[in-house]
């Protein structure tokens, strides 16, 4: 027993002369990894997504499916923290121009689903009550028609960005005409088609979603009105359908329109105000106020980001004979490639002169994350989760 004890102590103390390779630094950027399911992280993720949706002028509101990764880089004393979040998202049925909060929007049916991922850098300074999103990027992609047909072969086939079929324009035109005929006075015209679907039931059926604007002509003027609307701002979105049964000589047309709030969206870069929120994000929030930047502050863009749409990857797989996509929703967000970081000027957020600048790091790689990440998904379907 004494020999075995001696050998054990030797192994623990020095390894008895054995040589082991050095252990890699599992978190080289020294960022603090956060719990993706904590109320603090979920509240910040909700704010990030709301800011992303508010910044966009086109497309549909994105909702949070899960927090994939969350890191914090604590700045010097008094400067708060920069957060690096990766969010898995789903497209909803609300258009971004409606300015509907994402929590009030329902996600689409599986056969219409668009899923993706957003990376965001978020600045939080509890002491100054500043919550600000300087950068984000998102990549979205529809669920492959190949996958949908395996699950629901009779579901409508989605082609959200393919308008080559003239039947879609016909559906939009005739359904809008039906809406105008039922309108007591105001008339509307087509701005653009935003979604298209098709299905075979008893015959071909076409479904469209499209933005509308108000026409300068009223119903009583009819075809005698030749005015062109100078305003192209969409005021609502319509869902129209057109189908025809072999036993019916006419077309079956349906339409439903929803109108946006009268408050026009703020164009990007015109407002540099920063929302004040509770110092503790888990507290119930009061109605949002604004912490206005100094009048001598230079004009800055409120947000810097984009949303990229990728096509159906099923066709690409058929052409290349691959079994699985390598990466279906690649998202890049690097304000710097310097591992030591670069200064980030957010001085316009502060009421008083700011002597020091924040330091932004390269966005952390997905190779290392906390055991608490990713968090649970709202839609726990692997076909709706980026790999």
pLDDT tens, position by position, 36-50: 999 999 999 999 999
3-state secondary structure of 221: coil
Under 8 Å between Cβ of 192 and 210: yes
Q: How would you classify the pairing of strands 274-276 and 186-200?
A: unpaired
Q: Is 302 contained in some domain? A: no
3-state secondary structure of 95: strand
Q: Is 250 contained in some domain? A: yes
Range name among 87-96, 240-249, 375-384 with the lowest pLDDT average: 240-249
More confident residue, 159 or 291: 159
Residues 185 and 140 in one domain: no
User: Mean of the pLDDT values across residues 372-376?
Assistant: 93
| pLDDT at 150 (0 to 100) | 86
Q: Is 292 contained in some domain? A: no
- Model confidence at 277: pLDDT above 80: no
Residues 181 and 120 in one domain: no
CA distance 294 to 273: 10
Residues 77 and 170 in one domain: no
Residues 183 and 107 in one domain: no
CA distance 242 to 252: 6
The domain tally of the chain equals 2
Q: What does pTM read for this prediction? A: 0.80
Q: Which two tokens stand for residue 332?
A: 């890049």
| pLDDT at 249 (0 to 100) | 76
Under 8 Å between Cβ of 117 and 87: yes
Q: Is 190 contained in some domain? A: yes
177 membership: H or E segment, kind and range: helix 166-182
Residues 181 and 144 in one domain: no
CA distances (Å), 189 to each of 99, 156, 317, 384, in order?
21, 26, 40, 35
User: Mean of the pLDDT values across residues 246-258?
Assistant: 88
The burial of 268, by beta-carbon neighbours within 10 Å (0-12 exposed, 13-18 middle, 19 or more buried), is given as middle
| pLDDT at 264 (0 to 100) | 43
CA distance 347 to 297: 8
Q: Is 281 contained in some domain? A: no
More confident residue, 163 or 161: 163
Q: Is 379 contained in some domain? A: yes
Q: Which two tokens stand for residue 270?
A: 């015109």
Under 8 Å between Cβ of 326 and 310: no
Residues 148 and 165 in one domain: no
Q: Is 90 contained in some domain? A: yes
Q: Cβ contacts of residue 143 below 8 Å, gap of 6+?
A: 110, 111, 113, 114, 115, 383, 384
Identify the domain containing residue 252 by its residue range. 161-217+233-260
| pLDDT at 26 (0 to 100) | 39
Q: What rounded mean pLDDT belongs to the chain? A: 79
Residues 371 and 315 in one domain: yes
User: Mean of the pLDDT values across residues 305-311?
Assistant: 92
| pLDDT at 164 (0 to 100) | 77
Q: For 25-83, how does the pLDDT look when each residue is reduced to its tens digit (9 = 90+)?
A: 334 457 899 999 999 999 999 999 999 999 999 999 999 999 999 999 999 888 999 99
Under 8 Å between Cβ of 358 and 344: yes
Residues 205 and 241 in one domain: yes
Under 8 Å between Cβ of 256 and 239: yes
Residues 204 and 143 in one domain: no
Under 8 Å between Cβ of 239 and 255: yes
Residues 173 and 123 in one domain: no
Residues 174 and 248 in one domain: yes
Q: Is 7 contained in some domain? A: no
Residues 142 and 185 in one domain: no
Q: For 323-332, how does the pLDDT look when each residue is reduced to its tens digit (9 = 90+)?
A: 555 557 889 9
Report the CATH number that the domain containing residue 377 is assigned in CATH. Answer: 3.10.450.10
């Amino acid at each position: 027993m004494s020999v075995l004890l001696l050998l054990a102590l030797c192994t623990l103390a020095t390894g008895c002369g054995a040589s082991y390779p050095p252990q890699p630094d599992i978190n080289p950027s020294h960022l603090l990894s956060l719990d993706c399911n904590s109320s603090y992280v979920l509240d910040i993720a909700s704010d990030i997504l709301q800011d992303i949706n508010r910044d966009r002028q086109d497309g549909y509101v994105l909702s949070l499916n899960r927090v994939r990764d969350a890191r914090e880089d604590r700045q010097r004393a008094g400067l708060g923290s920069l957060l690096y979040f990766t969010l898995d998202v789903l497209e909803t049925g609300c258009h971004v121009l409606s300015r509907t909060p994402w929590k009030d929007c329902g996600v689409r049916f599986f056969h219409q689903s668009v899923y993706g991922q957003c990376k965001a850098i978020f600045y939080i300074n509890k002491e100054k009550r500043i919550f600000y999103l300087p950068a984000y990027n998102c990549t979205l992609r529809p669920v492959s028609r190949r996958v949908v047909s395996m699950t629901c072969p009779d579901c409508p086939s989605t082609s959200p960005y393919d308008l080559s079929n003239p039947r879609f324009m016909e559906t939009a035109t005739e359904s809008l005409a039906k809406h105008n005929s039922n309108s007591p006075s105001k008339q509307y015209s087509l701005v653009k088609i935003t979604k298209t679907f098709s299905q075979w039931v008893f015959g071909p059926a076409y479904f469209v979603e499209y933005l509308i604007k108000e026409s300068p002509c009223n119903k009583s003027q009819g075809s005698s009105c030749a005015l062109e609307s100078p305003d192209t701002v969409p005021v609502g979105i319509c869902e129209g359908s057109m189908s025809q049964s072999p036993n019916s000589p006419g077309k079956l047309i349906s339409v439903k329109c929803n109108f946006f709030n009268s408050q026009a969206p703020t164009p990007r870069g015109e407002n540099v105000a920063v929302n004040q929120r509770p110092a503790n994000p888990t507290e119930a929030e009061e109605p949002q106020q604004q912490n206005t930047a100094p009048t001598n502050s230079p004009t800055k863009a409120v947000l810097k980001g984009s949303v990229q749409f990728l096509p159906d990857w099923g066709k690409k797989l058929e052409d290349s004979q691959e079994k699985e996509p390598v990466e279906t929703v690649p998202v890049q967000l690097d304000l710097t490639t310097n591992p030591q970081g670069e200064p980030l000027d957010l001085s316009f957020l502060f009421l008083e002169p700011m002597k020091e600048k924040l330091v932004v790091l390269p966005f952390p790689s997905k190779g290392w994350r906390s055991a608490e990440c990713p968090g649970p998904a709202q839609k726990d379907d692997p076909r709706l989760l980026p790999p």
